[in-house]
Structure 1
Amino acid sequence: MDSWTLLWAMILAFAPISEVRGAIPYLLIATSGDAVGAVYGLLLSVAANMAVPFAAFPILDVLDALAAKPWMPSVVKRLYGFLRGLGERKALGVRRGSYIALMVFVAVPLPATGAWTGSLVAYVLGLDRRKSILAIDAGVAAASLIVFAAAYLGIGLLKTLFML
């Protein structure tokens, strides 16, 4: 496996839209037949996705401070309001102080339930950052296992059905 494949997998894992839900299937397809490369890429992708809260919380702090400034363009304020509203809507299923619920929220491999949204939910609810990071990272690990199993079995099934 080449280093570009690893780089793209890490970018996919860190990106807000795909996260490990996109990186793991990409890795399994890009490294077909290379089990060592797939495991190495999987570990790097999970690590990249686990780094998300360390970037998300400072970004949210800066956005929160900038949104309060009178000179800030209204477009930025509306974008931040939209993001905060998204976090508040997603937070309805996560009670204040419930880190297990936050972990389960991140672990479910559905759209808009990854580490970025989990960080936003924890920020909106004002949860303790250290505990939130642990819960989010545990959720990322669980989501990675779920996505890996589903993608591995799905690719194997497709290969069997279409004799690839």
Structure 2
Amino acid sequence: MTHLIEVFILSAVPLIEQRGAIPLGLYYNINPILVFFISFLGSILPVPFILLLFNKIFDWMKKYKFFAKINNYIQNKINKNSAKIEKYEEIGLITFIAIPLPTTGVWTGTVVASFLKLNLKKSMFCAAAGAAISAFILTLGLTVFKGVFSAVFGS
């Protein structure tokens, strides 16, 4: 039970998300289907909070010089990724979130959706769809890799 909670919480952590949670769950020998569902649920947990609160918090942070470095980092991330999402909207957002690579994922995609003021319900759906696709890709890929590795090296 403790390992399931670890997978759930880790999948909700920015930058780590499913890319760290799913390998951890498989390392703990948790059933891959359960790892998929737990990491999916954990990854979408922050979505409504990000969509509803990000712009307010970001605007508040802009008022203080103390947050300048963080604000610049966030602004650069948004600027870098917003054109892709803005151009294709829902499909762009789903695809961006679904690709399990660094700097993509639920947190970044949802922040960009919030910043672009995309429709709340559509953004939540796109985040969930992208997170499900990402969790599927990671779970399947890592399960196959683990099976091949075990067959080749006998561990």
Is TM-score (shorter-chain normalized) higher than 0.5? yes
- The one of 55, 58, 61 equivalent to 2:49 is 55
Matched position secondary structure for 1:113: coil
**Deviations 1:23-76 (CA, angstroms, capped at 9, x unpaired):** 111111102xx53xx43343122111012212323441332331343xx2x131
Segments of 5+ residues of structure 1 without an aligned counterpart are none
- The one of 17, 28, 37 equivalent to 1:43 is 37
- The one of 135, 150, 154 equivalent to 1:159 is 150
The answer (yes or no) to whether the contact 1:96–1:125 under 8 Å persists in 2 is: no
State the alpha-carbon separation in 2 of the partners of residues 159 and 68 from structure 1.
Answer: 51
Query: 1:130: how far off?
Result: 1.5
Q: Equivalent residue for 2:58? A: 64
State the alpha-carbon separation in 2 of the partners of residues 41 and 162 from structure 1.
Answer: 24
State the alpha-carbon separation in 1 of the partners of residues 49 and 71 from structure 2.
Answer: 16
The answer (yes or no) to whether the contact 1:102–1:118 under 8 Å persists in 2 is: yes
Q: Equivalent residue for 2:3? A: 5
Task: Tell me whether 139-148 or 59-68 shows the greater mean CA deviation.
Answer: 59-68
Residues 87 and 23 (structure 1), Cα distance of their counterparts in 2 relative to 1, 3 Å cut:
same
State the alpha-carbon separation in 1 of the partners of residues 92 and 85 from structure 2.
Answer: 6
Note the aligned Cα RMSD (angstroms).
1.8
State the alpha-carbon separation in 1 of the partners of residues 88 and 58 from structure 2.
Answer: 21
User: TM-score if structure 2 supplies the norm length?
Assistant: 0.90
State the alpha-carbon separation in 1 of the partners of residues 118 and 87 from structure 2.
Answer: 7
Residue 137 of structure 2 aligns to which amino acid in structure 1?
I
**Deviations 1:114-164 (CA, angstroms, capped at 9, x unpaired):** 000001111222211211111111000000110011100111111011101
Q: Equivalent residue for 1:108? A: 99
Q: Equivalent residue for 1:120? A: 111
User: TM-score if structure 1 supplies the norm length?
Assistant: 0.85
